[in-house]
Amino acid sequence: MKSYFKDYGETSFITGMRAFAALGVILTHAGGGGLHALGHIAGTLSDFGRTGVFVFFVISGFSVAYSYTSCNNYFEYLNKRIWRIAPLYYFYLVATIAIGATSVFWQETFHLVGISKYNFLLHIAFLSFLDYRVANSIIGVEWSIPIEVFWYFIVPLLLLLSNTNKKLLYLIIFSFFAYNISKIPAKLSLFDNAALAIHWSPLPYIFSYSLGIAAFMLRNKVQHTNLSGNIAFIFSVIITLVHVLLPGITKKLFLDELTIISIATAIMITYGSRNSSLFKSFFCNSLMQKTGTLSYGIYLCHIPVMTIMTRYNLCSTNATINFFVFALVSTILSFFTYISIEKYGNLIGKKTFEALRQAERPFS
Residue 140 has pLDDT above 90, yes or no: yes
The residue-averaged pLDDT of 47-58 equals: 96
Q: Give CA–CA dist 328/320, Å, rounded.
A: 12
Q: Give CA–CA dist 95/304, Å, rounded.
A: 9
How confident is the model over 177-213, as pLDDT tens digits?
A: 999 999 999 888 888 899 999 999 999 999 999 999 9
**Res. 1 pLDDT band, cuts 50 70 90:** very low
Q: Residue 82 has what DSSP assignment?
A: H
Residue 68 confidence (pLDDT)? 96
Residue 41 confidence (pLDDT)? 84
| pLDDT > 90 fraction of the chain, expressed in percent and rounded | 81
**How far is residue 285 CA from its own chain's centroid?**
21
Q: Give CA–CA dist 119/132, Å, rounded.
A: 11
Residue 363 has pLDDT above 60, yes or no: no
Name residue 359's amino acid: A
**Res. 227 pLDDT band, cuts 50 70 90:** very high
List b or e across 71-92, with b for residues whose CB sees 16 or more CB atoms inside 10 angstroms. Answer: beeeebbbbbbbbbbbbbbebb
In the chain, where are the structural domains located? 2-352
The residue-averaged pLDDT of 94-100 equals: 97
How confident is the model over 253-288, as pLDDT tens digits?
A: 889 999 999 999 999 999 999 889 999 999 999 999
Q: Give CA–CA dist 343/6, Å, rounded.
A: 11
pTM for the model stands at 0.94
Residue 303 confidence (pLDDT)? 98
